[in-house]
Structure 1
Amino acid sequence: MKLLHLLLSIALVGFVPLAKAERIKDISMVQGVRSNQLVGYGLVVGLPGTGESSRFTEQSFKAMLSGFGITLPASLKPKIKNVAAVAVHADLPPFTKPGQTIDVTVSSIGSAGSLRGGTLLQTFLKGVDGNVYAIAQGSMIVGGLGAEGLDGSRVVINTPTVGRVPNGGTVEREVKSPFTQGDFITFNLNSPDFTTAKRLADTINNLVGPNSAKPMDAASVRVIAPRDPSQRVSYLSTLENLEFTPADTSAKIIVNSRTGTIVIGKNVKLQPAAITHGGLTVTIAEQQNVNQPEPLAEGETVVTRQSIIDVDTDDSRAFVFDPGISLDDLVRAINEVGAAPGDLMAILEALKEAGAINGQLVVI
């Protein structure tokens, strides 16, 4: 029987890495300061025969010509292969003013083979309220490439039916922001946590004064702010650069069954358990050692703990020991004997079902 002993000495009260201080602006957002999504429908022209000839493309083409006073007979069906119907979308950043430009993304919605070499014609970009906030137009940059042979063989690199128009959208309407309204501003945490919210409020109160900031819940901290817009900007500029130490994240294990990726938080610990998976047996043990100083020597008698992981790759029975290590040490030990990611996932799921993991197991 081949037996591999992996001795991992873990100091339970040993070195604890210092948490990193973060700026308020890096872990939170100001309520009301957000981008808005815009979308529109348009035509791309000038394609080298890679366009499409469909009913809605012909209808859009006729509608465009009628806008210029050109009316085609209803019985005439133009055969166009250099035009493609596209969906255009963009994000309108906060505080963007009329006349400024934004990038737009253009995607084919029909059977066009490629948008390379095409030009987007004037397209109205609307918000969720139906109002036009920007107008897009311009030559596209397409990173993809497609080629097709006479025998039907085809090679496609990246995605030739999606392109971008840098600075192709001109903003026509400003979205009103509530940033300058009221007597307060609110910081919304990117990762809600009660301890982090309290620490953020305490950091602001230490600078501005007591009761200037109040945590409203696990995600929001409300701060008193001046009404004058220029003073509010300066005030927020100071607050968002304050540094404090966020709370540790909750104990979680993230498992991606499709890619075999496993991420284990540092706060995940094991309860008493013994594991047998196929021919693999893993046991966890902890023993206490008494360190006695020499006679007449200075020092105190202390009790130290030593954790031992025993991994047996042969077919044998599992037996139970007391725990004394974190889960990442168990994973490292299993990897030492070459266990596949699928085996490790199965072990983690079984441990969770047995209540031997004090963290949350999330499978994505």
Structure 2
Amino acid sequence: MDRNAPDINLPDITVIGGGVVGLSVALGLLLDGRRVQVLDGADGDARASQGNFGLVWGQGKGWDYPPYARWTADALAAWPDFAQRLQDASGIDVALDQCGGFEFFTSEEELRAFTGMLTQQQTHLGNRFAYDTLSGDDLRRDMPGIGPDVVGATYSDADGHVNPLRLLRALRRAVLAAGGRISAGAHVTGVAAQPGGGFEIAVSGAAPVRVDRVVLCAGLGTAPLAADLGFATRVAPQRGELLITEKLADRLPFLSSTIRQADEGGLQIGGTKADAGHDDSETLDVMAGLAAHAVAVLPALADLRVIRSWGALRVMSPDGFPVYARSATCPGAFLVTCHSGITLAPLHAAVLPGWIEGRSDAPELEAFDERRFALSSAA
């Protein structure tokens, strides 16, 4: 036996983070022929993948940043094939429904402002993005029951949603089916570059993990690890709050970014944004505001019972756009973070591995490098 031969059972790449982003990246690398392990945190960690709204959404994304507009449009177009491939690999239907989505407004000023944003987004995307603006009267004619306070809405037929918990389960199964390893409850406390190359990952209560390459996809857990690998990006939490209602016998006549009906029948009502640090608790005044908005859009919802509610933390970069970065000081270390992990999942599982491997056919992601933050500060 050649004692100097590499152990073919050892992973080529370790992904830190087992949420939608980390598992999507891991799946893509596995399908690209890499050996991959995923170090997933504890159930009590702040997990955006278990508290999000499940949208596959494009309206407004990248209106002021063309690379993000194009990246999002690519993801929306890739979702149908991705959902089918996930079902084939995992046996789980993630309930993708790209039926088109509405943004409802009760303020004429806010409607005009958002329409202006979509016009700019369309300028970036040309015929890859289309939207309609409907008046309140148009909406009430086409969807009886829309409330009198709704002054109008925008609509895009590329928008949709999935069942986010089914998506998470499907990704886990697909990763395992592709030969990946997932270590649950692996609380990573540090990552150190080794003098001879590679990295040593410190895991609480376990022996250190030695790896050749590492992809940091730990969401809000990225903050204490990024500096170890020479990354400057500092992610921050943004709290969103949600209401879940009892199941409806009838289907909701629309999907919006703040009101959606899950495939099981209940409504999910959300859309709030708050800078509250790492506090993910729900607040009564915000919950009341969510309920009032839903009733303003569709007054028939007034008698619907709310069965549970929660707060969850989004993962936000300094400018809100994704970050795809290679470490300048620790070769072999990569950082992937975004707050649209569900929308962007098809790209993370398909074209991102080419970027990690440095292939000539890799997407151009310079616009998402973290150097943009240093340049912005210098300006």
Q: TM-score per shorter chain, which class?
A: under 0.3
In terms of fraction of residues, the more helix-rich structure is 2
Report the TM-score when normalising by structure 1.
0.20
Report the TM-score when normalising by structure 2.
0.19
Bigger RCO (CA 8 Å, 6+ sep): 2
